[in-house]
Amino acid sequence: MNYYLYALAVLLLILWYNRVKFIIWSPVLAVFVYLGCPDKMGIAVYLTINILLLIEPIRTALISKPLMALIARLKLMPSISQTEKIALRAGTVWMDGEIFSGRPNFTTILSDSYPTLTAEENAFLNKEVDEVCRMTNDYETSERRDLSPQVWQYLKDNHFLGMIIPKQYGGLGFSALGHSAVIQKLATHSQALAITTMVPNSLGPAELLLHYGTQAQRDYYLPRLANGTDVPCFALTEPLAGSDATSIRAYGIVFNDNGVPKIRLNFEKRYITLGAIASLIGLAFTLRDPDGILGKESDLGITCALVKSSLEGVVQGRRHNPLGIPFVNSPLQGMDVIIGIDDVIGGMDGIGQGWMMLMESLAVGRGISLPSTCTGGIKLSTKVCGAYATVREQFGTSIGNFEGIESVLGHMAAMTYMMDAARIFTIGAIDEGKKPSVINAVMKYHSTELFRKTINDAMDIVGGAGISLGERNLIGHAYMGAPIAITVEGANIMTRTLIQFGQGVIRCHPFAYKEIEALGSNDAKAFDVNFFAHIGFALGNMVRMILLSVTRGYIYLPKSSGVARNYERKLMWTSATFSFMTDLIMGLFGGSLKQREMISARFGDVMSYSYLLMATMRRYKEEGYSKDSEVFMKYVGDHALSNIQKAYDDIAHNLFSGILFAPLRFYMRLNRMGRPANDQQLHRLATIILTQDEKRDALTKDVYVGKQLALLEEAFKLHNEAKPIVGKMKKAIRAHALPKAPFDLLIEEAVKKSVISKAEGSTLKKAYLLKQEAIQVDSYDVSTFVRD
């Protein structure tokens, strides 16, 4: 009898692990009950419960309806406002849904789009983008606080401001990847140049017109935006409304002008990029119709309109100074500015649709523009530091040979690989028409934070060469610009604590939003179906979590190859754990979950690092699971899993703190998902960027190599070529054939004594002279440096 019970128990675990429907595993459980409890009363109780759960009308009447009343009375489900509903419905669920599922489909994940540039986009990147970078002297731009007139004209003439506009309207019609690649490369040379180009191609008039404008609006404005006749900006942020865009005070009043309905606008905006020079302002405001001219409603909601800066009442002419980075960023005001209904984006149909437009269009800023700018900055930091740490010497050796520097360089290399993988993977989804709003928030947060970390590390490595501003400084302005990326499109503290998991738990969970909607509409049938499906989902994830945990993921057969197989197993384990614990905290906190921001942030960390690891695995597969990519895959895998483990530790520390949960906490410490990468991995990664070869070039692809960086790269190259020559001289010094002295002072003597050849002496002399030139910093005459 016991053998049958064991076999049935195993069968039940298998069924629950695979989340089969209740109607399938219920008979198996019935046999288990019968064999384990032959008492007739026990069987009768089980059958009664079974019938109650299986017959939907009975279940709905006896369980679901009373439960709905209880949930409403105890406020166990969060209330969702209309604006929150619009934000939640905006965009689509993508890889975030896989993470929340508890059972990610790696066949789908590993075959999802990982795009490449078209020939046309590549040509533009290597010609027009290189040319505008050559034309832009970043230090002079900083000093004059604007791009030169020649650069502005080149951007307009070559349609940089219209990359996202289709060719039929005169734009470049680039893919999201093409758009991203241009912004990324510009950011490796000049933050001001990148931001100036980025904004017209992000959330603004062109993006909104393409998706929501009338045909007449598109036909008129898009060609003007594509060729730079109109310079656009988008005015959303206000002194009293930042991240909380629903609180905007800018307003429009509908009035009757000789029988024609018009709108009188009043607004005060700030932090508006290109605001001071824009000829076409995209404006977000709340629209009111107190006299009912357009219909019965008086409060028409957030609306977006196109406002020509030449209109009476528009006040431009002032600029902010964003940490000295000289892109145009400005306040804007409007006093009794008159526009027509035709100026509303979408015309009459666009009235009151502004919030929806904004939420659906934020994908561009969060998913493309900011990750591209920041990945460019990360690549630049990695390329510069690899070369500089080789050329710069202390205590007779390159500073890159010190383990402290090496550990930082290794981490920079791996994070460059990971962030570029995530950038391309995310953009592949956007190019396919998806709008993964939660993943875009993940990308915004991690790309900007990683850029901040990387540029700080770079400043530590290059030291005074990063601090002393001037034409020789390769990273100073990037360092100054890092906090700007942190604050825009939703400040990072709020992105981590409110958006990633806060929106994801409702938007991406298979049942949560459906249950909330059913409760809101008092739809007992819909609630019943989704609630009991949710119960089965949670049960299956609990069993999956336990079995994957005790087997450390080895119960699962991975779809990937190479070292990724182990990380796929761990991701399957963490997804099941994440999904079950998500259901657990929804049950614990109910409607107050939105206010538990610190817990939410930690769950967001689990979700976001899971995504970054998925993206890296996708790149690893795209590269054919190559040996060269293996070291990156291993480091990123260990890095992501250790951060996931830390998040789980912090969750357990805060949620399961009593003595009752001590065994659980002990088990979690004993059976860890991951630990940080080891020193050997860091050494291998650092070696890649300290060696001038195709692996380093691939890692830092599309960094613009201007005059100063070319000089550093040449010094880097000659330094490596001179290493064997220096080795001969060191050997001669140890043998007392040469005296102890700086090598550059011994070159002629070494040649005379045939320690090295004349050609080797020439190479060594050139390497020293070039190194000396490459590590110089700018200085200025005191009489002209100090300003009156």
310-319, long-range: CB < 8 A, 24+ apart: 310/279, 311/337, 311/338, 311/339, 312/337, 312/338, 313/265, 313/337, 313/338, 314/281, 316/275, 316/276, 316/277, 316/278, 317/276, 318/276, 319/276
Model confidence, pTM: 0.94
435: buried, middle or exposed (CB in 10 Å: 19+, 13-18, 0-12)? buried
Closest-CA residue to 689 (of 337, 375, 414, 394): 414
Is the pLDDT at 283 greater than 80, yes or no?
yes
**Same domain? 514 vs 599:** yes
Q: What percent of the chain has pLDDT over 70?
A: 96
- Tell whether 555 is covered by a domain: yes
396-405, long-range: CB < 8 A, 24+ apart: 398/690, 398/719, 399/461, 400/686, 400/690, 403/679, 405/461, 405/686
Q: Which of 207, 489, 568, 760 is catalytic?
A: 489
**Same domain? 507 vs 631:** yes
> How far lies 202's CA from each of 118, 163, 383, 425, 446, in Å?
21, 10, 28, 19, 19
Tokens of 37: 């409890």
Residue range 723-734, pLDDT digits in tens = 999 899 889 999
- Tell whether 60 is covered by a domain: no
- Tell whether 59 is covered by a domain: no
CB 704 within 8 A of CB 130: yes
Closest-CA residue to 62 (of 78, 76, 47, 51): 51
- Tell whether 580 is covered by a domain: yes
Q: How big is the CA angle at 711 (ends 135 and 763), to the nearest 5 degrees?
A: 150
Residue range 691-718, pLDDT digits in tens = 989 999 999 999 999 999 999 999 999 9
- Tell whether 11 is covered by a domain: yes
Mean pLDDT over 25-38 rounds to 68
- In whole angstroms, give the CA distance from residue 385 to residue 392: 10
Return the CA Rg of the chain: 31
CB 92 within 8 A of CB 435: yes
Closest-CA residue to 366 (of 303, 429, 416, 414): 429
- In whole angstroms, give the CA distance from residue 319 to residue 272: 9
> How far lies 565's CA from each of 553, 620, 667, in Å?
10, 11, 24
CB 197 within 8 A of CB 235: no
Kind and range of the H or E run holding 340: strand 329-340
- Tell whether 563 is covered by a domain: yes
Residue type at 643? Answer: N
Return the pLDDT at 35: 65
- Tell whether 486 is covered by a domain: no
**Same domain? 607 vs 720:** no
**Same domain? 561 vs 646:** yes
Return the pLDDT at 45: 74
Mean pLDDT over 458-483 rounds to 96
**Same domain? 654 vs 767:** no
Name the E strands within 471-619: none
**Same domain? 739 vs 625:** no
Number of domains in the chain: 3
Measured over the CA atoms of residue 292, residue 294, residue 296 and residue 301, the dihedral's sign is negative
- In whole angstroms, give the CA distance from residue 119 to residue 142: 34
Residue range 515-562, pLDDT digits in tens = 988 988 899 999 999 998 999 899 999 999 999 999 999 999 999 999
Residue 245 — pLDDT band, cuts 50, 70, 90? low
Identify the domain boundary among 674, 690, 718.
674
Residue range 137-178, pLDDT digits in tens = 999 999 999 999 999 999 999 999 999 999 999 999 999 999
Identify the domain boundary among 30, 54, 78.
54
**Same domain? 514 vs 594:** yes
Per the annotation, the verdict on 597 as an active-site residue is: no
Return the pLDDT at 562: 93
Return the pLDDT at 691: 94
**Same domain? 537 vs 646:** yes
* Residue 27 structural domain: 2-54
Residue range 315-352, pLDDT digits in tens = 999 999 999 999 999 999 999 999 999 999 999 999 99
Tokens of 329: 């960023």
Residue range 615-672, pLDDT digits in tens = 999 999 999 999 999 999 999 999 999 999 999 999 988 988 778 777 777 888 888 9
**Same domain? 513 vs 646:** yes
**Same domain? 625 vs 730:** no
Residue 86 — pLDDT band, cuts 50, 70, 90? confident
Residue 13 — pLDDT band, cuts 50, 70, 90? confident
Residue range 671-688, pLDDT digits in tens = 899 999 999 999 999 999
- Tell whether 23 is covered by a domain: yes
**Same domain? 611 vs 517:** yes
**Same domain? 553 vs 617:** yes
Residue 56 — pLDDT band, cuts 50, 70, 90? confident
Which residues, other chains included, contact 340 with Cβ-Cβ below 8 Å and sequence gap of 6+?
A: 260, 262, 263
Beta-carbon neighbour count of residue 386 at 10 Å?
A: 28
Return the pLDDT at 266: 98
Identify the domain boundary among 17, 32, 54.
54
Q: Is 523 left (phi over 0), alpha (psi -120 to 50) or beta?
A: beta
